[in-house]
Structure 1
Amino acid sequence: MTADDGSYRRPFWTIERRDGVVGLLFVAPQLVGIVLFVLVPLALVFWYSLHEWNVLANTFTFKGAANYRKLLEDPTLPEVLGATALFSAGLVVLNLGLALALALLVNQKLRGIVVFRTLFFSPVVVSLVAWTIVWGFLLQANGTINGFLGALGIEGPNWLRHPTTAMISVVVVQVFKNVGLNMVLFLAALQGVPNELYEAARVDGAPRFKQFRRITLPLISPTILLTSIITVVGSLQVFAQIAVLTQGGPGVSTTVLVYYLYQQAFQFHLFGYGSTLAILLFVIVLTLTVLQWQMRRRLVFYEN
C-alpha cells in the first residue's frame, strides 16, 4: 500500500495479525474456563477467608487476618497435616510401585494377557462411592476379609476402628481403585522403549535388572514424573473414601486436610475458616507441584 507521498505503508490487517486472532479464538474457550472456574473461585475463596460467614444467621463479617491466626493456633491442624502426609506418602509409594510392576507384567507377550489388562484397569471405571461402600462391608469386624482370615485360624482386627489399620485400609482401597490408570500410562511408556536397546544390552551380557535400571527407568522417566504429579495432587484431594469408610476416625487419625475443611465449613458452618483451609490446601498442592516440576532436570532423562 502506497501513501499519498509515495511512501510504503504496511496494512493493518496483516497475515501475522490474522493468525494471531485465529489462535486467540481457538484458545478463548479454555481461557474463559480458567478465568471463570479457577481464577474467580480462587479469588472468592481468598475473600471469604478474610470474613466470617454465618449462613444460618445470614451474617458476613470482615475479620481480616483472624482466620489465618486461628490457622496457626489450631491444635488439631498438626495432626490433620500429619494424617494427610501419611496418607499421601503411602498412596504415592504403593500406587506408583504397584502400577509399574503391573505394567511390566502385562507388557509380556503371553496368552490371555489382554484379559489381565482389563481386570487391572476395570476398577478405574467403577463408581468411587460404590467401590468404597463395598470395601466398607469387606473391612467390617464381621466382614468378608475377617471371615476369610478366620477360616485360616487368624483373628482379624477391626480394620476401620483402629488408628493404624484404618489408615492402611483407606490407602489400600484408594490404591486398588486407581492403580489401573497409572498402569496404563506406564504400559504405554514401556511399549515406546526401542527393542534395539534391550537387544544390544543382552549382547553385552547385561542382566535384566541392569537393563531395567539403565534403559527402562531413564526412558520412562517422563511418565514417572507425570504419574507422580497426578498421584500426589489426587492424594491431597481425597474425600469420598474418608467420608464413607471412617468419617475421619478413629479420633482424627484419618482426618485428611480436605475432610477437615469439609467439617469446618459444612458441619460447623465456619465458612471463613474453611476457606482459609482451602487456601492452605492450594498452597501445599502448588508448592509440591512446583518442586516436582523443578526436579525434572535431575530425574527426567529427556531434560538432561
Structure 2
Amino acid sequence: MRRRDELAGWLMVAPQLAGIVAFVIVPLGLVVWYSLHEWNVLAGSFTFIGADNYAALADDQQLGPVLRATGLFSAGLVVLNLSLALFLAVLLNQKLRGTVVFRTLFFSPVVVTLVAWTIVWGFLLQDNGGVNAFLDVLGIDGPNWLRSGGTAMASVIVVQLFKNVGLNMVLFLAALQGVPAELYEAARIDGASAWARFRRVTVPLISPTILLTMILTIVGSLQVFAQIAVLTQGGPGTSTTVLVYYLYQQAFQFHHFGYGATLSLLLFLIVLVLTVVQWRMRRRWVFHEN
C-alpha cells in the first residue's frame, strides 16, 4: 500500500516534472552549451570556442548603455505600475456607483493582443498622430515622441503601463476586499486618519500581494520586447535598446547565436538575483513573514 501511494503521488506530479524538464532544464542546458560555441547558421558551422563569448561580454562597449536603458525602463515601469494600480484599486474599492464599469475599463487592455495594442499606440505617438493632434487643440506643440531619446523611453514605459496596470489593479482589489472591516473601524475609533489607516492597516495586510505583483512586474519589465520592436526598434540610437532586444539583434539580426545565448544567460542571472533578493527581504516587511 505504501508503494502504491508513492506511485500515485509520482504519477500526479509527473506532468509537472515533465514540463519543467522539457521547457526549463533542457532549454537552459542547451543555452549554456550554445554559449560555449560560435554558431553561424548561414555558414552551417558550429565551433567550440570555450569562454570566448563571456570574454566578449565583458568587453562589449554597448552592454553598459543597454543595461542602463533596461534599468531605466524597469524602474520607471515598476514604480508607476504598482503606484497607479494600488491607487486605482483603493479608489475602485469604495462603494460608489459605476465602479464595475471602471473596473472593466481599466482591465480591458490586459486582454487586448500586445502587438495590436502597440501598433495602435505607434500611430497615436507619431509626429502627426492622435496625441499631438489633441495637444495641438490645446495650443501645445507636441514633440516627435518616438524619435527623441527622453520621450521615446517615456513613451514605451507609458504604453506598457496602460497595457498591464489593470492586472495588478485586480490583484490589489482582491487583496483589499480581504482586509477585515473591523480593523478599519477600530482604527477609526482610535482616531487614526485615512492616511494612517492606509499605512498601518491596509499596506501591511496586502503586503503579500504587493510582493507578488512586484516580482511579476519586475520580471515582466526585464523581458519586454514587442513594444521596443514595434515602436522604436531600440532607437533613437540605443536609448531604448533593452537587454532582450539587444539579445534579439545579436542572435537573429547579426547571427551571433553563441553570443546571443550568452546574453540570455546574463538576463537569466539578473532575473534570478532580483527575485531571490526580493524573496529574502520579504521577512522584513511582508505581513506574517517576520
Normalising by structure 1, we get a TM-score of 0.95
Task: Report the equivalent of 1:130.
Answer: 116
Task: Report the equivalent of 1:68.
Answer: 54
Task: Report the equivalent of 1:224.
Answer: 210
Matched, 1:24 2:10: yes
SS of equivalent to 1:141: coil
Aligned counterparts of 1:25 and 1:221: Cα–Cα separation in 2: 36
Task: Report the equivalent of 1:178.
Answer: 164
What is the 5 A alignment of 1:96-115? 96-115=82-101
| Runs of 4+ more than 4 Å apart | none
Q: CA deviation at 1:18?
A: 2.4
Q: CA deviation at 1:20?
A: 2.2
SS of equivalent to 2:39: strand
Task: Report the equivalent of 1:142.
Answer: 128
Aligned counterparts of 2:178 and 2:5: Cα–Cα separation in 1: 35
SS of equivalent to 1:253: coil
| Offset from partner CA, 1:77-97 (integer Å, 9 cap, x none) | 000000000000000000000
Task: Report the equivalent of 1:245.
Answer: 231
2:197 to 189, 208, 211: 211
2:272 to 268, 274, 286: 286
SS of equivalent to 1:53: strand
Task: Report the equivalent of 1:163.
Answer: 149
1:38 to 18, 21, 24: 24
Task: Report the equivalent of 1:295.
Answer: 281
SS of equivalent to 1:248: coil
Please tell me the residue identity of whatever aligns with 2:217. Answer: T
2:138 to 145, 152, 162: 152
SS of equivalent to 1:205: coil
Q: CA deviation at 1:23?
A: 1.4
Please tell me the residue identity of whatever aligns with 1:292. Answer: Q
Please tell me the residue identity of whatever aligns with 1:80. Answer: V
Task: Report the equivalent of 1:4.
Answer: none
Percent of pairs identical after alignment?
Answer: 77
Structure 1, gaps ≥5 residues long? 1-13
Aligned counterparts of 2:226 and 2:236: Cα–Cα separation in 1: 16
Task: Report the equivalent of 1:274.
Answer: 260
Aligned counterparts of 1:203 and 1:230: Cα–Cα separation in 2: 37
How many residues matched? 290
SS of equivalent to 1:295: helix
Please tell me the residue identity of whatever aligns with 1:137. Answer: F
SS of equivalent to 1:37: helix
Please tell me the residue identity of whatever aligns with 1:195. Answer: A
Q: CA deviation at 1:49?
A: 0.3
Q: CA deviation at 1:24?
A: 1.3
Q: RMSD in angstroms over aligned alpha carbons?
A: 0.6
Structure 2, gaps ≥5 residues long? none
